[in-house]
Amino acid sequence: MKRRTRNLPDVPERFPRAFQDLLHDLLARGPRLPGGKTEHERSKRRVLSQSGTFVGHRRYVRGDDLRRIDWAACARTGELFVKQFEEEERRALTLLLDLSPSLLAGTTPRRLFMLRLAAIIGGLALRHLDGLTVIAPGAGGGAVASFEGPGELDALLAHLDALPVVPASAEAAIGVVLKRGVAGRLHWISDFVDPATCELPLAALRRRGASVTGWLPVLAEDRQAPVRGYLTLDDLETGAEMIIAVDQALAAEMQHQLELLARQQDRLFAQCGFPLRRWPVPAPADFLAAAAYQQIVQWCSR
C-alpha cells in the first residue's frame, strides 16, 4: 500500500436549474418544520413571554404568534411582519456538514447528495424557521454562515456550492459547534465512515442538551461490495492505495463488514438517543424526481 498524489473525483453540478425548481416546489408544498409547531404551541399561551433583545422583523407565516405581529410596521407597509427577538428558544436550525474527501466516494459522489440534502433541509428551515446556521468545519471563512428567511435560499445554495473539499475530523467539527453554541436542532450530514471518532463528540452534544439528527446519504456501494476483479483501491481520506483481488468470497466478507459498519453507526446514535436518517440516494435517472426527495421532507416534518 502506498500513497500517491491525490486527484480527487469531480462532483457533478450540484444545483442545476431543474433541481432548484424542484427545491422550490418541495419547499412550497412541504409541511412545516417542528420548530414552527413549537412556535404554534407557544402562541397558545396566555401570557406573551417576550424576552430578549429585538433583532428585527420577518414576514409573518401561518402559525406565528399573532401577538408578535408588529402592527406599526404593518400599518406602514401594508404587510404582516412579526418581531424577532434573540431568545433561547429561537426557532432556528443548524446544519453541520462534513466536507471531508471521503464523501467523494461512490459512482455518483455522496457529496452531491449531501449538498442537496443540506439544501432541502436548509430551505425548509429558511421557509419555516427564524434562521439557519450552516457550519462547515475546515471551510475557512465560510465555516459558519447564517441565513434567515426564504429569500436567502439562493444565497444558501451558492454557499453550499462553494464549499471546498477539506479534511475535517468529527472532533474538530463538534468543537466548532460547541464553541459557537447550538441554535435549534442540529442536523449532521456525514458518511460516518469512522463511527468511533463520532462517539465522543455526540456524547458531548448530548451533555449540552442538544438535539441532533444524523443524516447519512446511503449509496449502493454501502450495501454491497461495489466492484469485482483485480483493482486498485484509493482511499479518499488518506490517499492510501491498495491493490486487491476481489473475488466472491471477499465480496461477501466485504458486505458483511459493511453491515457491521451500519450497525455501528446505528448503535452510535442510538446510545445517545438521537435518530440517524439513512437516505437512499436516488438512481441517476431519478436525480430530479420529487419522489426521491420526498422522504427527506417527511422526515423533517416529524
* Footprint of other proteins (CB under 8 A): 1, 8-9, 102-105, 110, 191, 193-194, 221, 226-227, 229-238, 240, 242-245, 249-250, 253-254, 256-258, 260-261
d(CA 291, CA 286): 8
Closest CB 60 distance from other proteins, rounded Å: 45
Strands 53-59 and 81-86: antiparallel
Other CB atoms within a 10 A radius of the CB of residue 65 amount to: 19
Q: Which is nearer to other proteins, 71 or 230 (CB)?
A: 230
Closest CB 99 distance from other proteins, rounded Å: 14
Q: Which is nearer to other proteins, 21 or 253 (CB)?
A: 253
Q: Which is nearer to other proteins, 66 or 227 (CB)?
A: 227
Closest CB 90 distance from other proteins, rounded Å: 36
Closest CB 131 distance from other proteins, rounded Å: 32
Closest CB 234 distance from other proteins, rounded Å: 5
Closest CB 282 distance from other proteins, rounded Å: 19
Q: Which is nearer to other proteins, 16 or 164 (CB)?
A: 164
SS3 state at 217: strand
Residue 301's Cα: distance from chain center in Å?
14
Q: Which is nearer to other proteins, 101 or 137 (CB)?
A: 101
> Going by C-beta distance under 8 Å and a sequence separation of 6 or more, which residues neighbour residue 114?
97, 98, 103, 189, 190, 215, 217
SS3 state at 54: strand
SS3 state at 243: strand
Q: Which is nearer to other proteins, 11 or 204 (CB)?
A: 11
Strands 131-135 and 212-218: unpaired
SS3 state at 96: strand
Residue 279's Cα: distance from chain center in Å?
11
